[in-house]
């Protein structure tokens, strides 16, 4: 099938990882992907995030510009659609972005909308939304206009239902992993590079913000008094400097290594160096990429018992889940019980394979949806 893929993503961060991984997997299944996004999308390597246009404009002006950008996106999509005659539109949801909805209304080509977060709510909570009612209405209109909405968790699906989307138009598709994370990976190059031989490595990967709670791991190092423990943070972000200051303050600076940004093709090697993989906190509706990467590499995962995490992990079987302030006690259990680490790591990898939490698996799920929508459109025409 011909798939017109629409998005507004310009960065080379986790959003682009999702876009690239899914479109590659669909292409591997024989589908033709016609990209309709910013020309610069994914053109650069991963880098430390820098403030975008939003940081330099008043909120009201930025939101008006977001809405206006829909016209530009629509023109781009319409040109692609006229030249290529796609069978389906696939759009990565963005706030105020109506391009896919408008094209679906004009052409009748079915629209699949991938939703990764309730952006109106998210931006309201973080205080950078000027027109709250306008945002909520636009979000609900876009979600309801799609033929199929794909939230990444059941928790997120509740937001979609509350916006008035019919149950039969919702299908949850979690994030996944590339095959590279399921291959055998040798951790020794990374361990040697950072002097981690003989250490029990606690690991965290990704763009680090204060709410991720990585400071809890540093406090655990300090209270344990064990010099054989080491925290390896694979990534960068605004919380790195505070973490390094805290490590100095707690006297564990020598037990913290921050790699800085690591490119995607090297991530399996870095994560393979972990003995215990940390997800200290999570946004309530998110489907964390790192979680599936940890699991695929057979790492014992420590994570909160949040509903979206429990959609994927079962406590004591393929992960260790803590409640409230129980992070340190749960981590202590993993640190001191090698058998438990092995059991949970093996269970996590088995869950990835059994549930097919892979991009190839997601492509198969999306393919089924596309074929059904194409059949419905054909039947309606006849």
Residue 38: band (very low, low, confident or very high) from pLDDT cuts 50, 70, 90:
confident
Average pLDDT of the residues of the chain: 93
Rounded mean pLDDT, 270-286: 97
Domain 2-176+359-381 coded CATH 3.40.50.970 = no
What pLDDT sits at residue 47? Answer: 57
What pLDDT sits at residue 126? Answer: 81
What is the percent of the chain where pLDDT is above 90?
86
**Is the pLDDT confidence value at 165 over 90?**
yes
Rounded mean pLDDT, 79-99: 96
Phi, psi of 38 (to 5 degrees): -55, 140
What pLDDT sits at residue 313? Answer: 98
Secondary structure of residue 14 in the 3-state scheme = helix
What pLDDT sits at residue 380? Answer: 87
What pLDDT sits at residue 13? Answer: 73
What pLDDT sits at residue 41? Answer: 61
pLDDT tens digits for range 314-339: 999 999 999 999 999 999 999 999 99
pLDDT tens digits for range 223-251: 999 999 999 999 999 999 999 999 999 99
pLDDT tens digits for range 42-67: 555 555 555 555 555 676 888 899 89
The CATH code of domain 179-355 reads 3.40.50.2000
Question: Distance from CA of residue 309 to its chain's centroid?
Answer: 13
On whether the CB atoms of residues 320 and 373 are closer than 8 A, the answer is no
**Is the pLDDT confidence value at 40 over 70?**
no
What pLDDT sits at residue 97? Answer: 96
Rounded mean pLDDT, 107-132: 92
CATH 3.40.50.2000-classified regions of the chain = 2-176+359-381, 179-355
User: pTM, whole model, 2 decimals?
Assistant: 0.93
């Amino acid at each position: 099938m011909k798939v017109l893929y629409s998005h507004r993503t310009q960065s080379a961060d986790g959003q682009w990882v999702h876009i690239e991984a899914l479109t590659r997997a669909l292409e591997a299944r024989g589908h033709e992907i016609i990209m309709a996004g910013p020309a610069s999308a994914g053109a650069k390597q991963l880098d430390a995030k820098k403030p975008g246009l939003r940081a330099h404009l008043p909120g009201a002006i930025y939101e008006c510009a977001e809405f206006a950008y829909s016209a530009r996106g629509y023109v781009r999509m319409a040109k692609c659609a006229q030249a290529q005659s796609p069978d389906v539109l696939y759009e990565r949801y963005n706030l105020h972005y109506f391009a896919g909805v408008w094209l679906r209304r004009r052409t009748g080509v079915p629209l699949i909308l991938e939703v990764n977060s309730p952006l109106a709510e998210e931006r309201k909570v973080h205080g950078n939304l000027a027109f709250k009612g306008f945002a909520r209405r636009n979000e609900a209109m876009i979600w309801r206009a799609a033929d199929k909405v794909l939230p990444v968790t059941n928790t997120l699906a509740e937001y979609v239902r509350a916006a008035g989307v019919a149950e039969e138009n919702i299908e949850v598709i979690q994030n996944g992993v590339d095959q590279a994370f399921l291959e055998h990976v040798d951790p020794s190059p990374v361990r040697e590079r950072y002097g981690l031989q003989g250490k029990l490595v606690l690991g965290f990967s990704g763009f680090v913000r204060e709410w991720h709670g990585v400071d809890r791991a540093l406090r655990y190092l300090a209270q344990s008094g064990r010099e054989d423990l080491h925290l390896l943070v694979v990534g960068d972000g605004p919380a790195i400097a505070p973490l390094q200051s805290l490590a100095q303050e707690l006297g564990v600076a020598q037990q913290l290594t921050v790699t800085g940004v690591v490119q995607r093709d090297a991530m399996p090697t870095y994560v393979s160096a972990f003995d215990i993989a940390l997800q200290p906190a999570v946004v309530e509706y998110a489907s964390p990429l790192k979680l599936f990467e940890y699991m695929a590499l057979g790492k014992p995962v420590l994570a909160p018992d949040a509903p979206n995490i429990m959609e994927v992990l079962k406590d004591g079987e393929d992960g260790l889940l803590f409640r409230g302030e129980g992070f340190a006690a749960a981590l202590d259990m993993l640190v001191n019980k090698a058998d438990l680490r092995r059991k949970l790591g093996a269970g996590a990898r088995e869950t990835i394979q059994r549930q097919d939490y892979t991009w190839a698996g997601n492509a198969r799920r999306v393919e089924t949806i596309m074929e059904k929508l194409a059949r419905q459109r054909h039947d309606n025409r006849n």
